[in-house]
Every structure is written in C-alpha cells, then in structure tokens.
Structure 1
Amino acid sequence: MIKDILNKADEKMNKTVDVLVKELASMKAGRANPAILDKIEVEYYGAMTPISQLAGISIPEARILAIQPWDKSALKSIEKAILKSDLGINPSNDGEIIRLIIPELTEETRKNIVKNIKKTGEDSKVAIRGIRRECNDKFKALKKKNDISEDEIKKGEEQIQKKTDIFIKNIDAILEKKEKEIMSL
C-alpha cells in the first residue's frame, strides 16, 4: 500500500517538474525559441489549431523565428493570432513567411522574466508539497483503518519527505539554470 502511494506521488511529482520545464521553455529568453509559439492557437477553418500544425517553424538567425505556413491562406490568421497573443512581438509578413524578430532583452525585462521564473518555480514547489500532504493524509487514513502500523507510517512519511526534498532541489537547479541563461544573454 505504501509503495503504491509513493509510486503515484513520484509520478505526480515528475509530471509537475515536466510542466515546469515546458513552462520555462516557452518563456522569452532573448533568443529565438519555437516553444514560445506553443500556446498560440490560430482559427483555421473554424477550429482552433496550434501554429506548429499549420506551418513549419525555423530559426534562420539567433533572434529570428520564421513561420512558413503550408497553406498560404492561413498567413493572415497566423499573423492575427500572434498579434493577439501576449508575446509582445510584431510579426513581419512578406506574403510567404512570417518573421518574428525577438528583441534584445533590457535589464528591466530580464528582471521581470526572472521574477516570473521564480513565481512559476514557487508554484511548482507548492504543487510538490501538496502531493506530499496528500500522501501523508493517505497514510493517516490507513492508520485510522488500522491497515498499517505506526512504524510503516513513519517510514512512509520519511520516504515522501525525502522525495519532496529531492524534487524541490531539482526544481531549484532548473530555476537557477534558467535564471543564469536569462541574465547572461
């Protein structure tokens, strides 16, 4: 029983870290990164469709994203979706390709991005701690039912605490790496 609870907690914690990594990848970092377009959907023939399914996305230069739709009629829709998004980048449309020129980051912008990174990281840590709390609650419920002994509960609580500590350290390392990346550009 305890192993099952711990395994499920491990899965949830891994998913939390995966979500954090994806979230951080989609943050602007002063370099062209196709992941910044992941959240943008385009209305295409009445359905909301991710840009990556409508166009090829390439990086011709370090700070330029090129979006080449497979269907030229989607060009205007893609451009509108980018303008509506929270990217803060004006697309340049030449009739065949949309270019996004990623601006240089100012010191103030970098600090704001780092602040967002820290907030996102803290949210992930809170989620990890919530998973730990869920496990501890399950252990206590098992104890009330007299399904497991006090010693087994202690072991389970210690193991989930160790897992929590490991995942929190992992998140801290990921955040530190991303912060250095942002501040060193």
Structure 2
Amino acid sequence: MVLGIPLAKFIPEAFKAFSKPIVNVLKKNVTKSPFWKDTVFIPMAKYYNKQSVRTRLWTQGIRRTKEQIEKSSQMSEEAAIELGAEIVANTFTFIIGLLAILMQQSISAATERKKVEAEENILQRIEKNQLELHRKVLELGLDLQKQDTKIRELNRKVLSLPQYGTLPQQHEKTNISKSVEAF
C-alpha cells in the first residue's frame, strides 16, 4: 500500500510529461490547417476563456455587462491556439484516463466473477462430498442394523441349543461318547 501513494502521484505527472509533446505537435500543426484552427481550436479557446472570465467575476461578486466581459476576455490568435491545444490535450488525457479506469474496472469485475465462480464450484464440490458422505453413513447404518439382526439371530440359536448352559467338561464327555458310539 505504501507503493500505491507514490504511484498515484507519479502516474499523472508521467502522463502529463508524455502528453506535452502531443500538445506541441498540435500547436505546430494547427497553424498549418485553417479548418482546425478556425473551426475547432480558436472558437473553443475563446469560449473557454470567456466562460472562465465570467466565472471569476461571478465568484468575486463583481457585476459586469456583456460588453465588458467580451472586452476583458479577448485574446490573441496565438494565445487562443495555445489554449485550444491545451484543452484538446487535456480532453484526450481525460478520455484516456477514463478508458484506463473503465478497463481496470472491467478487469477487476472479471477477476471477481472468476473468484465467485471458483468459490461456487468449491461449495458445490463440498455439498456433493457431504451428500456422498451422508449416503455412506446411511449405508453403514443399514449394514449395522443387518449385522445387529444377524447377531441377535445367532444369539437365539445359541440359546436354543440343548447344550447351552452346561459345563465345558460335560460337552467334551458327550462329544467323546458320541464319537465312540459312532465307531
């Protein structure tokens, strides 16, 4: 974050430094083209200067007539061309900055959208795993019930045997006597 503050100051200054040659080229080329000079730069600069003078007088509380404002806002052709070139360069700078902000916002929105999609995929996998584990737990519960039933059945069979409850020595005698009788 510490790096962000110097960059925030550096980027506009660097942009101004790069746009300065563009302004100089515009100034040189405007004088060559009467269309741009007479229809774009000079009228735009004179209108801007007139509005600037009117605003300054209004903020200072000074009342002037239209003629007085016209007279005080007059400027030479050279100054109008220079001001017009500055306005055009600043407009382009503003547009480029605005496009950069919009591009950054779209990139940020796309990365945020990807992040949300990734989180949704993770949540879906977790839910799928949770359902699978729940199904397995239910299956284990059924298997446990089946085994419990078998154990009870085996206990009943053991309890129903005639030799149940006799001592082990008696079992051996009866088993031995039965095996002897079988010969």
Tell me whether the two structures share a fold, i.e. TM-score over 0.5.
no
Q: Which has the larger radius of gyration?
A: 2
Q: Give the number of the structure with larger relative contact order, counting CA–CA contacts within 8 Å between residues 6 or more apart.
A: 1
TM-score, length of structure 2 as denominator length: 0.24
* More strand per residue: 1
